[in-house]
Amino acid sequence: MLNILIVGGAGKTAESIVDLLYEAKHNVTIFDISKNNPQKKGKNIKSIQGDIRRYEEIDHAAFGKDIVIHLAINIRDTQNDELSFQTNVYGTYNVLRCAQKSGVKKVLIASSAPVHLTNAAGQCDCICSPGEDFTYDLTKNIQEIIAQRFSQTYAMNNLVLRLGHIVDGRTEKDLNGLPLSELSYCRGGWVCRYDVARAFLNSVENEFTGYHLVNIVGSYQAASKLDLSISKKLINFECTEKFELY
């Protein structure tokens, strides 16, 4: 049984992750800026309201934890570039600094595979979309660099999971309820929320050292654009939902 802090743990991405960790009997602390935590309650789940932009708040939450899962991003005002940098970049710095100070065994960070997807095989790194998504893409790139530098400098075990666009493969809808048959965004780069949860559980329960990147994308098209083999070697994971009808 491990003591796990999930930063951004009240969001939709976290729901299935919390469920699996709960079933695996791990002690879970949910840290989120939201006052309302929709996740299930139990003796091994507790919630803390806090802001990762405030060092002292995340420092308090990280104390005594074995593992930190960092899912938090700016979704409150996505067109506010300053807020995106404060949350996605400075917030990530705070998470890693506090984890390093508290002697956390490993940090798992949710990045974005669509940032790195292109239509040309083999050209899949540090790609930022133009327009409204540019700042988000840029800050996700910077998160990875921060995690790598902390790992190299302080001998931390940091794993970045580059997630595809998360949808629900069981109901065949996105997380807002739109049928996948009507969804064009990131088609070919989707991942099922339940595969995401298994990827994080496997990352929690499988040992690794140093800094690593793994791509967690279910869509069969991604195999020609991303290396999906590292996750199988490192954390014994591969997606089960391939979205073969799309």
Alpha carbons 16 and 39: distance in angstroms, whole number: 9
CATH number of 3-235: 3.40.50.720
Q: Are strands 27-32 and 3-7 parallel, antiparallel or unpaired?
A: parallel
CB 72 within 8 A of CB 90: no
- The span from the CA of 15 to the CA of 63, in Å, is 23
The three-state secondary structure class of 190 is strand
Q: What is residue 125's predicted lDDT score, i.e. its pLDDT?
A: 53
Among residues 203, 196, 128, 133, the alpha carbon closest in space to that of 165 is found at 196
Please report the pLDDT score of residue 163 as a whole number. 94
Write down the pLDDT at residue 124. 47
Predicted pLDDT of residue 127: 63
Which pLDDT score, from 0 to 100, does residue 185 have?
A: 87
- pLDDT tens, residue order, the chain (246 aa): 899 999 999 888 899 999 999 999 999 999 999 877 655 566 788 999 999 999 999 999 999 999 999 999 887 776 788 888 999 999 999 999 999 999 999 999 999 876 555 544 444 455 666 666 788 888 888 999 999 999 999 999 999 999 999 999 999 999 999 999 999 888 899 999 999 999 999 999 999 999 999 999 999 998 888 888 999 999 999 999 999 999
In angstroms, the Cα distances linking 211 to 45, 106, 147, 157 are: 28, 10, 8, 6
Sign, CA dihedral 167-170-173-179, equals positive
Q: What is the C-alpha to C-alpha distance for residues 228 and 216, in angstroms, rounded to an integer?
A: 7
- Give pLDDT, residue 38: 56
Q: Look at residue 235 in the predicted model and tell me its pLDDT.
A: 96
pLDDT at 138: 87
What is the distance between the alpha carbons of residues 115 and 99, in angstroms, rounded to a whole number?
A: 26
Those residues whose C-beta lies under 8 Å from the C-beta of residue 24, and which sit 6 or more positions away, are 201, 205
Quick one: DSSP state of residue 122?
A: T
Sheet order of strands, 27-32 included: 45-49, 27-32, 3-7, 67-70, 106-112, 158-163, 211-216
The length of the chain is 246
Give pTM, 2 decimals: 0.91
Provide the CA 145 distance to its chain's centre, in angstroms.
Answer: 15
Residue 49 β-bridge partners: 32
Q: H or E stretch including 48?
A: strand 45-49
Amino acid at 236: N
Helix (H, G, I), strand (E, B) or coil at 199: helix
CB 104 within 8 A of CB 68: yes
